[in-house]
């Protein structure tokens, strides 16, 4: 069954349309990255999924269900904002949150989450005593306390250091291995490229494109080939040539274009090439290509 299906979703705030006719779905067990600049509509879409905001148009179903009283049992949500339960301890926060779902006596699962997220030694601390990184871990533990099947992460690594970011992404991978379906938003495109099976690029409330991450990169980006020759040559004519300066040649070719094809077309002897460098396109390039053509 489809973990999440969004059809023709729109959300208006007065005359402003924050989300415009967006449709996409999630495949079981995948990590899907919803990408876009600030104000693109990412958080609005997530707010609609968790029934915090009512859509102006369209439908949302979670594992085939659209009743919020049912879907909330299936969804774990990690917001951008840090937790503020300052007067409760870490362990108390998790037990209180579990009670919202009618869960009592789930100490074993809470212990598992505390240990998994390196919060066990902090379980008796009041939340106000925690660092920002520890509060972020607690948000994730809260989202998982009722054992949801769909996890929504809205900028989960915003404002955390590089080491903690790597640890949190590793935890996300572990959740995927355990069968969790994950929707996340992030500004870290290099990490999204490594982590996400598929991505959707949102701009001005419109979903410009979706697809498998590596497939989109191959479709939307170019490969840069830099040749350094042993000596300068006469002006070269080639449609992919972007720069010829001294003994350096820079070509921009489609990602599927083979180096051997270029060398054959240039008809250069191999001993004429002193150095060779290839830069493949990445998700950042694809992202900018989509936004530039929007």
Please write the tens of the pLDDT for every residue from 151-168.
999 998 877 788 888 888
- Residue 143, pLDDT score: 95
**What's the CA dihedral at 59, 62, 68, 74 to 10 degrees?**
-160
Q: Please provide the average confidence, as pLDDT, over all residues in the chain.
A: 92
pTM given for the model: 0.88
Mean per-residue pLDDT for 189-212? 96
Of the ranges 50-54, 134-138, 270-274, the best mean pLDDT one: 50-54
Q: E-strand spans in 64-106?
A: 75-78
Query: What is the per-residue pLDDT across 205-215, written as a single tens digit (0 to 9) for each?
Result: 999 999 999 99
* Measured distance CA(186)–CA(189) in Å, rounded: 7
Which tens digit of pLDDT belongs to each residue from 58-92?
A: 999 999 999 999 999 999 999 988 777 778 999 99
Count of other CB atoms within 10 angstroms of residue 233? 14
> Residues near 169 by Cβ (< 8 Å), separated by ≥ 6?
157, 191, 195
Residue 42: the pLDDT is 96
Q: Which residues of 175-191 are buried (b: 16+ CB within 10 A; e: fewer)?
A: bbeeebbbbbbbebbeb
CATH architecture observed for domain 4-217: 3-Layer(aba) Sandwich (3.40)
Gap between the Cα atoms of 97 and 143, Å rounded? 9
pLDDT at 50 over 90: yes
Higher pLDDT, 8 or 105: 8
In this structure, of 8-12, 116-120, 154-158, 189-193, the range with the lowest mean pLDDT score is: 154-158
pLDDT given for residue 294 in this prediction: 52
Question: Is the predicted pLDDT of residue 44 greater than 80, yes or no?
Answer: yes
Please report, for residues 129, 146, 153, 177, the alpha-carbon distance to residue 156 in angstroms, rounded to integers and kept in the order given: 20, 19, 6, 19
Q: Which residues are 77's β-sheet partners?
A: 152
Is the pLDDT higher at 187 or at 30? 30
Provide the pLDDT confidence category of residue 220 given band limits of 50, 70 and 90: very high
User: Residue 232's pLDDT band (boundaries 50, 70, 90)?
Assistant: confident
pLDDT at residue 234 in the model = 84
Query: What is the per-residue pLDDT for 201?
Result: 97
- Contact yes or no for 192/261 (Cβ under 8 A): no
Tens-place pLDDT, residues 94-150: 999 999 888 887 789 999 999 999 999 999 999 999 888 889 999 999 999 999 999
């Amino acid at each position: 069954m489809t973990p999440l299906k969004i059809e023709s979703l729109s959300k208006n705030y007065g005359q402003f349309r924050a989300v415009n006719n967006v449709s996409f779905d999630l495949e079981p067990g995948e990590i899907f990255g919803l990408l876009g600049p600030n104000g693109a509509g990412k958080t609005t879409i997530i707010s609609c999924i968790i029934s915090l905001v009512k859509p102006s148009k369209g439908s949302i179903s979670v594992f085939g269900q659209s009743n919020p009283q049912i879907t909330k049992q299936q969804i774990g949500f990690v917001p951008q904002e840090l937790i503020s339960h300052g007067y409760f301890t870490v362990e108390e926060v998790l037990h209180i949150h579990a009670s919202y779902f009618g869960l009592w006596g789930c100490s074993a699962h809470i212990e598992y989450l505390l240990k998994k997220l390196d919060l066990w030694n902090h379980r008796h601390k009041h939340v106000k005593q925690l660092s920002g990184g520890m509060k972020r871990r607690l948000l994730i533990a809260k989202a998982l306390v009722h054992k949801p099947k769909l996890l929504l992460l809205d900028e989960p690594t915003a404002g955390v250091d590089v080491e903690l970011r790597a640890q949190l992404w590793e935890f996300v991978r572990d959740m995927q291995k355990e069968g969790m379906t994950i929707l996340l938003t992030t500004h870290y495109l290099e990490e999204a490229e490594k982590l996400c099976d598929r991505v959707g690029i949102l701009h001005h409330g419109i979903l410009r494109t979706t697809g498998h991450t590596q497939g989109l990169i191959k479709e939307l980006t170019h490969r840069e080939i830099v040749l350094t020759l042993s000596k300068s040559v006469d002006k070269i004519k080639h449609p992919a040539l972007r720069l010829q300066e001294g003994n350096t040649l820079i070509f921009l070719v489609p990602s599927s274009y083979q180096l051997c094809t270029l060398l054959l077309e240039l008809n250069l002897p191999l001993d004429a090439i002193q150095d060779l460098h290839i830069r493949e396109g990445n998700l950042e390039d694809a992202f900018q290509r989509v936004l530039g053509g929007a």
